[in-house]
Structure 1
C-alpha cells in the first residue's frame, strides 16, 4: 500500500542539499500515519549531540527512528556513529535522508561489543553504506510497515496481559 500523498509531498519538499531538520516534517507525518494517536504518539527530541530522534511510546519506548542528513551516508565515520548509537535500541531505524537502516529487536541476543581493529593506512568500514539499503519512498515502505505492525501487535499483547 503506497504512502498517502500528504506523506510523499512532505518528503518532496526537502531541498537539494538537505540537513536533518529538512526531514523533520516528513518523518513526523510518516510516523503519525503509521502509529495510532490514541495509543502511541511520536515524540521528536534532540539528543545532546544534536542528532534528531523520534521516539514512539506506550508507557515505555517501543520504536526509535534516528534521523541524519543524507550526506552522512557518504562518510564511514558518520555511518559508524549512527550504527553505534542505534544498535542497542529496541526496534530502531537509522534514517539518512530517505535511506533506512533497520536494527531489529532480538531479545535472544546477548549484547556483545564489536571491536574493529585499526590497521595503519587502511580504513575499517564497520557500518557499510549497504546497510542503508531501503528507501522509505520505495522498498523501505513495506519493511517499515512490517516493523510497525509487529510493534503494534506486541503493544496489544502488553495491553491485554
Structure 2
C-alpha cells in the first residue's frame, strides 16, 4: 500500500538536485505524523539536545531535525536527521551525516528508555538506518575508522539503500516504526 496522496504529492514536487535540506522537512513531517499518532507521540522539530539548552556559540548545531517522544514514557523513541539529496554522492557530506548521527546517540543516550533507539539519516528520500542498543551501548551500523594517510569512505553510499517513497523503502520504514511501538508497549 503506497503512502497517502498528500505525501506522494509532496514527494513529487521535490527534485534530486535540491540543495536546501529544509525543502524536505514537510515531506518527513507528514510521514512522521502518519506513522506516529498524535494521541501517543509528540513530534518535536528542531529538538534541542542538552548542549543546545545551555546556549552559547553554535547552539543551533546541537538541535536534532525531528525527535519522536512517547507520551507515556517521556522519552526519545526515534529521531531523524535530514540532508539534501545533493549530499548523497559527496563522500565528505556522507561522512559528516554519519558523524552527526553517532554524535546524536551520544548526546541523548542518557534519555533513552526503549531497549533500542532507531535514528534515520535521510539524504533526500534515501534512508540509512541506525540503531543504538541501550544494554550494550553499540551503534549499528558500525563506524569505520578514518585514516590520516589514505582517503577512506567511512560512510559508503550503499548505506543509504532505502528510498522511503518506494514500496520496499516504505515497508522497511514501517517495520522499524512497528518495532519501536512494540518496544514502547512492552515497557507498560
Q: Normalising by structure 2, report the TM-score.
A: 0.75
Question: How far is 1:110 from its partner?
Answer: 4.3
Question: How far is 1:109 from its partner?
Answer: 3.7
The CA deviation string for residues 17-38 of structure 1, in whole angstroms up to 9 with x for no partner, is 3221111111100100001100
Change (3 A) 1:114 1:25: same
RMSD, aligned CA: 2.2
Instruction: Report the Cα distance in structure 2 between the residues aligned to 1:103 and 1:55, rounded to whole angstroms.
Output: 14
Change (3 A) 1:124 1:30: same
SS across alignment from 1:38: coil
Question: How far is 1:43 from its partner?
Answer: 1.3
Q: Could you tell me whether the CA contact under 8 Å between 2:64 and 2:79 is conserved in 1? A: no
Specify which of 69, 72, 94 is matched with residue 79 of structure 1: 94
Specify which of 160, 164, 167 is matched with residue 132 of structure 1: 160
Q: Normalising by structure 1, report the TM-score.
A: 0.87
Change (3 A) 1:13 1:51: farther
Specify which of 118, 127, 131 is matched with residue 91 of structure 1: 118
Structure 2: unaligned runs, 5 residues or longer? 49-59, 106-116
- Map 1:17-32 to 2 at 5 A: 17-18=17-18, 19-32=20-33
- Map 1:101-140 to 2 at 5 A: 101-111=128-138, 115-119=145-149, 122-138=150-166, 139-140=168-169
The CA deviation string for residues 96-115 of structure 1, in whole angstroms up to 9 with x for no partner, is 00000001233354448753
Residue of structure 1 in register with 2:186 after alignment: 157
Counting matched residue pairs gives: 157
The CA deviation string for residues 103-153 of structure 1, in whole angstroms up to 9 with x for no partner, is 12333544487532222xx42110011100100011211111001001111
SS across alignment from 1:104: strand
